[in-house]
Amino acid sequence: MTPEELKIKVETALEEIRPFLQSDGGDISLLSIEDGKLVKVQLQGACVGCSVNQMTLKSGVEMTIKKHAPQIEEVINIEI
């Protein structure tokens, strides 16, 4: 899979989970994909500082991304 194909798969996964985040006043954006296995995202809005955002990131976002792109090993949130 090319880096561009991987990016499309990750973006597709984010589109799938975005409505759930937006329903709680948050959002997510893709920052980068490193070495074809580490995805860096940024939680936004109400997701920033939310006490369950780490759980949301691992059980929701990471699981959804891995469903679309199984080679992804980890998803991390980069706070600004």
The per-residue pLDDT for 60 is: 86
The per-residue pLDDT for 8 is: 97
* Distance, CA of 68 to CA of 15 (rounded, Å): 11
* Distance, CA of 23 to CA of 74 (rounded, Å): 25
What is the distance of C-alpha 15 from the center of its chain? Answer: 9
The per-residue pLDDT for 67 is: 95
* Distance, CA of 51 to CA of 73 (rounded, Å): 24
User: Residues 31, 78: contact at Cβ < 8 Å?
Assistant: yes
* Distance, CA of 3 to CA of 25 (rounded, Å): 31
- What is the tens place of the pLDDT at every residue in 19-69? 988 998 989 999 999 999 999 999 898 877 777 767 777 788 999 999 999
